Structure 1
Amino acid sequence: MYIKRIRWSFGHRHVIAEINVTADRFSVYDDVLDGRFRDRLKLDKQTGSLTITNITTKYIGHYELLMNGLTMVFLLSVYDEISVKKGDSVTLDSDLTEIMDYYWIQWMYMIENTLIAEIYKPANSMTVYDNVLDGRFRDRLKLDDQTGSLTITDIRMKDAGRYQLQTGSVSKSFNLTVCGQTSVSVIEGEPVSLYSGRTEIMDDDVIRWMFGNENTLIAEINKQTGSMTVHDDALDGRFRDRLKLDNQTGSLTITDTRIADSNDYRLQSNFMDMLFRLNVYGDLNISCTCFIL
């Protein structure tokens, strides 16, 4: 398509870049909105594509492209990466200093797009939905009525995932990673399961199980490609035919455990980083025949 004129606007009102071939004008407006976009905009003269560098949450919103009389609208969402230890608390910050009288704020947990909390200012209502997802968040959600920020207390592994704040035309997302350590013991020969603590793996997640100090990959699930792989040949085939991976939760089961299986197992995903310390003990119930001389 031959481009005569392109205009990029932020929030439908603020022109931030434009190309006018007829007037031989190529402009990036760094100073709009208190210089928010200064030194961050790159406009491609050939295609008219716009690149924003060093993204932060203040760039969330609608971007409008006017090109040769056609209009396209893009909604930009920015993910905050947050890591927290199991048992701690975390606050998902709305970046608002106050809630306007016409605001409707909704917090979603992105497994099944579940609404977990909301503020509806026109009715002056504030609600925390404790009973959703089988009561997973019961008594652990706190909503700030001044800013709309959400606090989750006593973090658990199954709280890991993506949370989204929606208020008007602004969408803000958080990737919450939960870190933890668990000790597991089993008698040699018995099976043992290392539980992920999840009930479901998100569609864009990748689950990896690693063994030992060298973090040798022994099993993985890639939900993006729909693949599930157990690496039987790793470590000279030590785990051959003894690993079972749960495609629903990502949990790992080791059958016919051996003393040599004792070690650290690490579960890593886009939303989890968990260490399991497995101890395999010999059977203590050994009968002994004594002879009196």
Structure 2
Amino acid sequence: MIRKSFFVSLCIIWFSSDTFVYTDEVMSVTEGESVTLNTDIKLSGQIEEIVWTHKINNLDNIIAEIKGKNINIYPNVVYGDRLQMDNHTGSLTIRNITTEHSGLYKLLIRNDRALSQKTFTVTVYAHLPFPVISRNCSLSSSSSSERSSVSRLSVLCSVLNVSAVSLSWYKGNSVLSNISVSNLSISLSLPLEVEYQDNNTYSCVVNNPITNRTTHLNTSQTCQERSEPLQNSHLVGITVSVILVLVVSSAVLIYFHQRKCKSAN
């Protein structure tokens, strides 16, 4: 289990020290990476104690500490065997980090009569999926005054089970439309309609504060791919019709031939 504290009493003792130094650091990482929270010190005989805590459910839980020459890493269901402490610096490494390891970490160092604290606000982002573009080519009249028709392409860009991301359609480097979601894990979709064989470059991008994934749209290839099955279906229909005509014609000829033979007899 996570060790809950004697942390409050620890602070009461340490705040009676002569010196207090406070620093803060913000870190953003991707799930699966290894992250090191650095103490920026070298351990010596003057350092009496180092304590690492992680705030879970509004409680500062002690996850690792050094007392004198003893290093203690407290096993728990949240971290498993992911935690590792550097015995020369006291820095804490979290291997194969996951989103549940996001949050506030505190480092407390007691050195003779001085106390220093360093906090790390760690945000862990899940791996982003590539956007999926579904397509539908259709013919529609360009205007009431024109007799010709313009082939248009309706597309839908989607990502599943994402949080803290934005989904955007780009035309070149310009944003056409976008939609965002905060920490709630949901699926996002964003429609777009363009003309068939439009020479502009269109792309759908999903991004969070540290990375992005892009899927490009090829309007020409998309419509050609969809037109081939249509052409093939027309050919199949024509072939079936011809065969039916031949079969019916043959049956009629055979019928009249048999009647003629019976009449001659």
Higher relative contact order (Cα pairs below 8 Å, separated by 6+ residues):
2
Select the structure that is richer in helix: 2
